[in-house]
Structure 1
Amino acid sequence: MSTQAPIYKLTPRSAWLEAEVAGRFDGAPVDLADGYIHFSTGEQVRETAAKHFTNEDALLLVAVDPGALGDALRWEPSRGGALFPHLYAPLSLDAVLYVQDIPLSEGGTHLFPESIR
């Protein structure tokens, strides 16, 4: 495992269950349309959830070791010019550090662990 901070993929539980059966994650429909798998840093993931997964109640947070992704991982400008990690290959499950449910609060926002920064 690398010493780099993890990057995160938010995905509906159903899509992740399919990835576990297949042995790899090819991406959500938006990823397939864009030609790469969208990830966020710990600092970006809450905003990503609010922008793209409002009221998604079966959301998973997939933590990934960026050092295990090799040259297929690129950091590219996105929202407001911030650099976001994009993976130009299927995600090997070997690179996954952990998968965690991200529940909704009563107000409809996602509740992330305090350790995600």
Structure 2
Amino acid sequence: MTDRIIFHMCRSAEWESARSSGSYPGSSQDAADGFIHFSTGSQVEESAAKHRAGQDGLVLLTVDAARLGDALKWEPSRGGQLFPHLYGPLPVAAVLRADPLPLGPDGRHVFPAGFRDTGFWDVQP
């Protein structure tokens, strides 16, 4: 089985706090929804445009879904697509990398160089 790579966007300060505590509880929106929102590589840019438009100071977390166990559920959302949702805190140990997600001159987020070159970016269950 191939490791599944999923993505989450959060504020830099939230990530720094998570690194200190060992886990990330999610954003206020995640708390309101009862789970932490993730996207696959093919979904994350649209998610950024829809849910994080114009927000600066974000980081993109690249997460090994295999380390999340049964708390990770794939559920239908936007347009019937399956999205990964984590019912519980995100362990820092499951995060493979955290990259700045700055805004470009056009106001859209600039994703890290090589974002799609890993071979894992378009994972579906």
Structure 2 length-normalised TM = 0.88
Partner of 2:53: 54
Query: Does residue 1:23 correspond to 2:22, yes or no?
Result: yes
Structure 2: gaps of 5 or more residues: none
Q: Are 1:9 and 2:8 an aligned pair?
A: yes
Once the two structures are superposed, residues 62-87 of structure 1 have per-residue CA deviations (whole angstroms, 9 ceiling, x without a partner) of 01000011100000000000000000
Measured after TM superposition, the shift of residue 5 of structure 1 is 3.2
Q: In the aligned structure 2, how far is the partner of 1:75 from the partner of 1:31?
A: 15
TM-score (norm 1): 0.93
Name the stretch that deviates more: 4-13 or 37-46: 4-13
Distance in 1 of aligned mates of 2:48 and 2:40: 12
- How far 1:94 moved relative to its partner? 0.9
What is the number of equivalent residue pairs in this alignment? 116
Q: 1:106 corresponds to which residue?
A: 105
The Cα of 1:115 is off from its aligned counterpart by: 2.4
**1:4 shift after superposition:** 2.1
The residue identity in structure 2 corresponding to 1:78 is S
What is the RMSD computed on CA atoms of the aligned residues? 1.3
Residue 38 (structure 1) aligns with: 37
